[in-house]
């Protein structure tokens, strides 16, 4: 056949015992006059998707698999598997279960495993999917026809979309979701795979030793913003739990600790879809875990450990002075991902040497992620951004066909362009963000009488701070498709937040397509360098002093700057309140 004209084929059938026994004859009935198409299902490997609609809930249970013999495999699923697996017992009893079988003449074992894995990534992100399962973790490296994979998968998903758009929505609508980007089915880079192997090996070794140790082994993964820490954590979490579920014991207790509300929702959704009703899995905030856990978990994974508290607070009243100490007492092994340049609060200040000592003390390990993955730009552009953040210098802005840096004289104009990009581009969500230089009480204080929202403002222009629209206007609880509650979505994924401006507390850890950054009065340009003025910041978590009266404000405000300036995947728009900084940036803009 002509490879250029070859397209995947999808055979659709009811999923029950009768149709399973007649599957090959039904395939022959449909494709008998085209042997080349028929043999895609009878002589080649295939990928299949089983789905069943939950009654009165508008949600689906889905299973994804691949096989060399689709009829035999389907009979097994409906014959033997229901005796030992509840998911297949439910499929067998369902009155509306159906199956899509996918065939292509370039399918081989590696290709079908890769297709299966990518389907899992996409389906994890679909709002209508309540539960999702498969038999194994399928991440593949290079193979004979791997260069064809992306184009082939896109064709398959487009065909599925035409058959059932509620279960297979348009691909671009999924790619904007935080759960898509954090999915454990994302393909890992060679660097991530190497780190994963080191980490999983160390975890396995720790679990084989006695559980009587006073504190857990600490494995520390360091990486800067955009280095792929969250994807790595998600992947390791899924691998550990999935392999444990496949074993006879199935009793591994795993907790993921997340300090940020937005990221907490993402992990909860992943866990609920892939491991529903598994009581051995906990997704919690660190303070909740410490306050409510009296026995030891086998594995504790801490995402963004740089947000752990190092001082007691109203929510954290543990026995140690630092959260990490109390967590280590409640686990056999702890995996913590850490970036010292994303510490944002005076209550989270920790000396790197303290963590390194804990690693040595517990017989753990330190591994580092070095590659930057978020910003899709040239090395010159990334160097420009890092020099601005790390060295306080404004270099001439390089030309870059992949990434746009644009400086604005007017924040309203920048908002208009971000709004337009968000509406017209389909490869990500774009949002406005700002340094925490305007007052925001989050409902703790009464608004001034002349204001409707806590907001940021510059001249006649203003925007509500993050969360203000829903809190003040009692915004609609359901998303526009009627399947997802707004409360279940991260801030940037709520469509109405295009009219709000986010802060470091709503966007840390998340990707945006284009980000429009308003640099408030705390970010200035003096004597040829950027400075951070603590007196102009409203971020008390950064500007307050420790009990020792030592100030970390400059470091923490720099970290805030770092978080905001590294959100954009394809573009960075900047408006600076400080006239000198605005002029210096304009002078650096390429003509």
Query: In Å, how far from its chain's centre is CA 340?
Result: 20
Query: What end-to-end distance do the CA atoms of the chain give, in Å?
Result: 51
Tokens 């598994």, located at residue: 278
Work out whether strand 297-303 and strand 254-258 pair parallel, antiparallel, or are unpaired: parallel
Q: Rounded to two decimals, what is the model's pTM?
A: 0.80
Tokens 């409902």, located at residue: 443
pLDDT at 3: 45
pLDDT at 421: 94
pLDDT at 426: 64
Would you tell me how many other CB atoms lie within 10 Å of the CB of residue 473? 12
pLDDT at 516: 98
Instruction: Please name the residues in contact with 23: beta carbons below 8 A apart, sequence gap of 6 or more.
Output: 13, 70, 71, 74
Q: What is the arrangement of strands in the sheet containing 501-502, beginning at the earlier edge strand?
A: 404-408, 568-576, 512-519, 431-434, 501-502
Domains and CATH numbers, the chain: 9-174 (no CATH), 190-369 (3.40.50.300), 379-588 (no CATH)
Cβ atoms of 102 and 112 closer than 8 Å: no
Query: In Å, how far from its chain's centre is CA 555?
Result: 27
Question: Rounded to an integer, what distance in angstroms lies between the CA atom of residue 19 and that of residue 17?
Answer: 6
Closest CA to 326 of 361, 351, 359, 291: 291
Instruction: Please name the residues in contact with 520: beta carbons below 8 A apart, sequence gap of 6 or more.
Output: 434, 435, 436, 437, 438, 456, 536, 537, 577
Q: How many CA atoms lie within 13 A of 473 on its CB side?
A: 15
Tens-of-pLDDT digits for all 591 residues of the chain? 444 447 899 999 999 999 999 999 999 999 988 888 999 999 999 999 999 998 766 899 999 999 999 999 999 999 999 998 888 999 999 999 999 999 999 998 888 999 999 999 999 999 899 999 986 655 555 566 767 888 999 999 999 999 999 999 999 888 888 899 889 998 888 899 999 999 999 999 888 876 678 889 999 998 887 788 888 999 999 988 887 766 555 678 999 999 888 888 889 999 999 998 888 999 999 989 988 888 899 999 998 877 776 666 656 665 556 888 889 999 999 999 888 777 666 665 666 678 888 889 999 999 988 877 788 999 999 999 999 999 999 999 999 999 999 999 999 999 999 999 998 876 679 999 999 999 887 667 788 888 888 999 999 999 999 888 876 555 555 444 545 667 777 888 888 899 999 998 888 778 899 999 999 999 999 999 999 999 999 988 767 765 544 567 888 899 899 989 999 999 999 999 999 999 999 999 875
pLDDT at 437: 94
pLDDT at 519: 98
pLDDT at 210: 65
Cα–Cα distances in Å, from 560 out to 342, 412, 501, 518? 7, 23, 15, 12
pLDDT at 144: 64
């Amino acid at each position: 056949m002509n490879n250029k004209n070859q397209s995947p084929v999808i055979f659709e059938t009811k999923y029950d015992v009768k149709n399973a026994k007649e599957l090959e004859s039904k395939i022959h009935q449909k494709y008998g006059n085209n042997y080349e198409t028929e043999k895609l299902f009878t002589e080649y490997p295939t990928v299949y998707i089983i789905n069943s609609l939950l009654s009165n809930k508008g949600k689906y249970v889905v299973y994804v698999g691949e096989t060399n013999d689709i009829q035999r495999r389907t009979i097994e699923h409906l014959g033997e598997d229901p005796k030992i697996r509840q998911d297949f017992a439910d499929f067998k009893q369902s009155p509306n279960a159906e199956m899509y079988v996918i065939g292509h003449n370039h399918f081989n074992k590696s290709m079908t495993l890769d297709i299966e894995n990518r389907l899992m990534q996409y389906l994890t992100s679909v709002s209508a999917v309540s539960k999702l399962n498969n038999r194994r973790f399928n991440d593949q490296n290079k193979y004979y026809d791997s260069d064809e994979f992306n184009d082939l998968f896109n064709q398959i998903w487009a065909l599925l979309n035409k058959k059932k758009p509620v279960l297979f929505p348009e691909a671009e609508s999924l790619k904007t979701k935080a759960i898509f980007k954090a999915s454990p089915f994302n393909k890992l880079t060679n660097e991530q795979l190497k780190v994963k192997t080191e980490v999983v090996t160390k975890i396995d070794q720790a679990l084989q030793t006695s559980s009587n140790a006073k504190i857990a082994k600490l494995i520390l993964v360091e990486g800067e913003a955009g280095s792929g820490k969250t994807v790595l954590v998600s992947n390791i979490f899924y691998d550990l739990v999935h392999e444990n579920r496949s074993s006879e014991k199935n009793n591994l207790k795993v907790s993921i600790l997340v300090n940020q509300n937005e990221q907490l929702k993402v992990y909860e959704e992943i866990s609920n879809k892939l491991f529903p009703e598994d009581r051995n899995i906990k997704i919690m905030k660190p303070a909740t875990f410490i306050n409510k856990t009296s026995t030891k978990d086998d594995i504790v994974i801490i995402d963004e450990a740089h947000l752990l508290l190092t001082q007691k607070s109203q929510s954290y009243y543990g026995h140690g002075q630092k959260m990490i100490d109390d967590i280590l007492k409640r686990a056999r092994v702890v995996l913590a991902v850490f970036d010292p340049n994303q510490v944002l609060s005076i209550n989270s200040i920790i000396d790197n040497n303290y963590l390194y000592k804990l690693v040595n003390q517990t017989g753990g390990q330190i591994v580092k992620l070095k590659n930057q993955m978020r910003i899709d730009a040239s090395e010159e552009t990334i160097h420009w951004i890092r020099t601005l953040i790390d060295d306080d210098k404004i270099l001439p802005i390089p030309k870059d066909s992949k990434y746009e840096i644009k400086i604005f004289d007017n924040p309203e104009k920048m908002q208009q362009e971000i709004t337009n990009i968000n509406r017209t581009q389909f490869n990500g969500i774009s949002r406005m963000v700002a340094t925490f230089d305007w007052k925001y009480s989050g409902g703790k204080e009464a608004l001034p009488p002349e204001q409707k929202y806590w907001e940021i403002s510059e001249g006649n222009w203003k925007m509500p701070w993050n969360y203000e629209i829903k809190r003040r206007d009692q915004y609609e609880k359901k998303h526009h498709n009627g399947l997802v509650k707004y409360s279940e979505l991260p801030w940037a994924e709520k469509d109405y937040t295009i009219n709000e401006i986010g802060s470091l507390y709503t966007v840390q850890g998340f990707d945006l397509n284009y980000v429009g950054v308003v640099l408030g009065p705390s970010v200035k340009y003096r004597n040829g360098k950027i400075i951070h003025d603590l007196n102009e910041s409203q971020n008390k978590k950064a500007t307050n002093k420790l009990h020792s009266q030592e100030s970390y404000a400059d470091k923490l405000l720099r970290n805030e700057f770092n978080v905001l300036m590294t959100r954009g995947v394809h573009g960075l728009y900047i408006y600076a309140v400080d006239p000198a900084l605005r002029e210096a940036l304009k002078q650096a803009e390429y003509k």
